[in-house]
C-alpha cells in the first residue's frame, strides 16, 4: 500500500535562498506517514487513546536537489519493512513536472506508552494491520 499526494510549493515553504526550506520537506513527510497510517485504519488519535504512540526513532533524509517556488511536488510513502519491534517508512519527494527526485527518506518508528515505556512487540492492533497489508502486497516484503 502506498500513499501519494501532491502539493504546490508556496512562498512560505521557501527560505532566503528561494528554495524549499528543509523543515517544509519534513512537514510533508510527516503528512505522508500519517495519511498512510490513516488509510490502513491506524488512526493515531485512536491509538493514543489506547496508550499507543508511534514516535520517530531514526530518520535518514537525503537531500538530492531543491524544489523551488511554484513547483508541484509529489510525496510518496510506503512501508519498506517491519518487524516485531519497529516499522520503517520509505518516502520520496519528487517533481510532478520532471520526475526529478528531491528527497529520499527512511523513518523508523516504534510503539511506546504515553509514559514512555517501549512495547517489546508491536501491539496486535498494529501488527495485524501490517500483516494484512503485506499479504495484499507481497512485493513490499
**Helix (H) / strand (E) containing 47:** helix 44-49
Answer for the pair 94, 7: CB distance below 8 angstroms, yes or no.
no
First vs last C-alpha separation in the chain = 11
List the catalytic residues.
Answer: 15
The Cα–Cα gap between 65 and 119 comes to 37
The Cα–Cα gap between 27 and 39 comes to 18
The beta-carbon contacts of 45-49 under 8 Å, at least 24 apart in sequence, are: 47/125, 47/126, 48/114
Amino acid at each position: 500500500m502506498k500513499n501519494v499526494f501532491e502539493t504546490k510549493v508556496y512562498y512560505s515553504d521557501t527560505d532566503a535562498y528561494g528554495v524549499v526550506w528543509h523543515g517544509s520537506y519534513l512537514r510533508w513527510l510527516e503528512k505522508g506517514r500519517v495519511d498512510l497510517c490513516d488509510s490502513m485504519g491506524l488512526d493515531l488519535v485512536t491509538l493514543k487513546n489506547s496508550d499507543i504512540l508511534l514516535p520517530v526513532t531514526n530518520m535518514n533524509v537525503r537531500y538530492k536537489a531543491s524544489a523551488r517556488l511554484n513547483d508541484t511536488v509529489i510525496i510518496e510513502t510506503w512501508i519498506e519493512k517491519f518487524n516485531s519491534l519497529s516499522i520503517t517508512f520509505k518516502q520520496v519527494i519528487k517533481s510532478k513536472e520532471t520526475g526529478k527526485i528531491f528527497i529520499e527518506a527512511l523513518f523508523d518508528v516504534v510503539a511506546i506508552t504515553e509514559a514512555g515505556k517501549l512495547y517489546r512487540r508491536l501491539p496486535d492492533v498494529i501488527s495485524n494491520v501490517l500483516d494484512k497489508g503485506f499479504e495484499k502486497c507481497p512485493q513490499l516484503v
